[in-house]
Amino acid sequence: MSDLPASNLPASDLPGSAKEPGAVSEWLRRSTWVDHILLAIRIGVAALVLVGLAGGIAAGTYSAADFASFTMFGLTIGSIYALIALGYTMVYGILRMINFAHGDVMMVGSFAGLFAAGGLNDTGLLGALPLLALPLVLAAGMAAGALVSIAIERIAYRPFLHVRSLAPLICAIGMSFILQYAARGLFGTRNRAYPGFGWMEGAVTFAGFTMPIPQIVAFVAALMVLAGLLAVVKLSRLGKAMRAVSEDRDAAALVGIDVSAVIVATFAIGGAMAGVAGVLYALVFKQITVFMGFFLGVKGFAAAILGGIGNLGGAMLGGLVLGVAEALGPALILEGYGIPAPYQLKDVIGYGMLVMILIFRPQGLLGERLAAKRA
């Protein structure tokens, strides 16, 4: 998108990024009142976190085993965030747009997995051979996610491909509502419970720490899927085409890449990842509802931004960091302020991180060159 002018990144005009002597006075001369306020906010947030952290550690409410299980939980939910984040990142890499309905794709995948699991449970396969059944359930989730994602591309993005406007964003918000409320009509509002996956229901004790098996399975499965996706993007012909389209859509079309097909494939792969996330989420939490997708989608988006949008490795890293921060944050930081029921405020940490990254480091942890242009 070379025709989009680069914006000035707030991070670049802060004292930390300047190297030569007299940088502080130079910054003071060039900065505006907005920069000063932003700096004050930075310092304030950092102080809040540090004081909370010190207080939380001093309070000592939780044992080391507690923190280990928090961390494991954080890694599990983080790997699910990472899977969702991949869809955002891939679509953003190619279209420079956020697929607002992506969270609901995950919900649809989760429901498809539920029905597949129900069918397998009737044949008895699910309880007897969960390692064979889980890939089948995942496949159902992936197929449904990919299909819905393709439909979203078709309805909300393709018609507006050649103009820059709010239309895709608004269409995608509309699609998100259509998916949520159509699913509500089709499947009902009550929580649906996944059937049990045989031996995957238990917990193992390892080196004195007890871990629920579903969390371990979900974490490992997520890592495997992520590795597979990376291989596709880095090694396959399709992956090469995707990277080319993401660099320059017109040039890619000139050298004979079917841009439309690549975009569809990107949406399909992103949707499939969301489907996997939906099934793994259900594996860990057992209960799914039709409204769970939207806010998990926001978290996935936060993970994508955190890692550096447009960057696949970044999405994984962002997901894991966000998951762990959400799992440990309430115990470590909020506890330090003596806030009652700190886990109610878990989402404040997640959303707060989202807002802070968008404001202060829109290029994310791993910083993608492309991300700077639109942010």
Binders of another protein in range 337-366 (CB under 8 A): 339-341, 344-345, 347-348, 351-352, 354-355, 358-359, 362
Residues 6+ away with beta carbon under 8 Å from 71: 324, 327, 328
CB of 81 to another protein, least distance (A): 14
Based on CB atoms, which residue is closest to another protein, 58 or 186? 186
The only residue of 28, 37, 128, 227 in contact with another protein, by rule CB under 8 A: 37
Q: By CB under 8 A, tell whether 41 contacts another protein.
A: yes
State which of positions 83-122 bind another protein (CB under 8 A): 97-98, 100, 115, 118
Report the first-to-last Cα separation within the chain, whole angstroms: 13
CA distance 279 to 291: 15
Q: Does 20 bind another protein (CB under 8 A)?
A: no
Determine which residue in the list 188, 224, 228, 369 makes contact with another protein, applying CB under 8 A.
188
Q: Which residues inside 248-287 make contact with another protein, applying CB under 8 A?
A: 249-250, 253, 259-260
Least Å distance between CB 16 and another protein? 18
Q: Examine residue 159 and tell whether it contacts another protein (CB under 8 A).
A: yes
- Among 267, 270, 301, 314, which residue sits at the site for another protein (rule: CB under 8 A)? 301
Is the separation of the CB atoms in 89 and 371 below 8 Å? Answer: no
Instruction: Rank residues 174 and 232 by Cβ distance to another protein and give the closer one.
Output: 174
Residues 6+ apart with CB under 8 A from 91: 97, 98, 99, 102, 266, 267, 270
Interactions with another protein, residue window 214-253 (CB under 8 A): 249-250, 253
Q: Could you tell me which residues come within 8 angstroms of residue 273 by beta carbon, excluding any fewer than 6 positions away?
A: 83, 84, 86, 87, 142, 145, 225, 229
Among 169, 216, 238, 365, binds another protein (CB under 8 A): 169
The rounded distance, in Å, linking the Cα atoms of 243 and 257 is: 11
Is 174 a residue that touches another protein (CB under 8 A)?
yes
The total of other beta-carbon atoms located within 10 Å of residue 326's CB is 25
Return the residue of 58, 64, 163, 207 that touches another protein, per CB under 8 A.
Answer: 163
Confirm or reject binding of residue 291 to another protein (CB under 8 A): no
Does residue 12 touch another protein according to CB under 8 A?
no
Smallest gap, in angstroms, from Cβ of residue 138 to another protein? 19
Contact 262, 158 (CB under 8 A): no
Minimum gap (Å) between residue 254 Cβ and another protein: 10
| Residue 275 token pair | 């489907």
Rounded CA-CA distance 286/192 in Å is 8
Q: Which of 51, 131, 182, 204 binds another protein (CB under 8 A)?
A: 182
Could you give the CA distance from residue 78 to residue 324 in angstroms, rounded to a whole number?
Answer: 7
Check: CB of residue 168 under 8 Å from CB of residue 156: yes
156 counts as binding another protein under rule CB under 8 A:
yes
Residues in contact with another protein, counted by CB under 8 A, come to a total of 73
d(CA 157, CA 266): 12
Say which residue the tokens 């936060």 belong to.
302
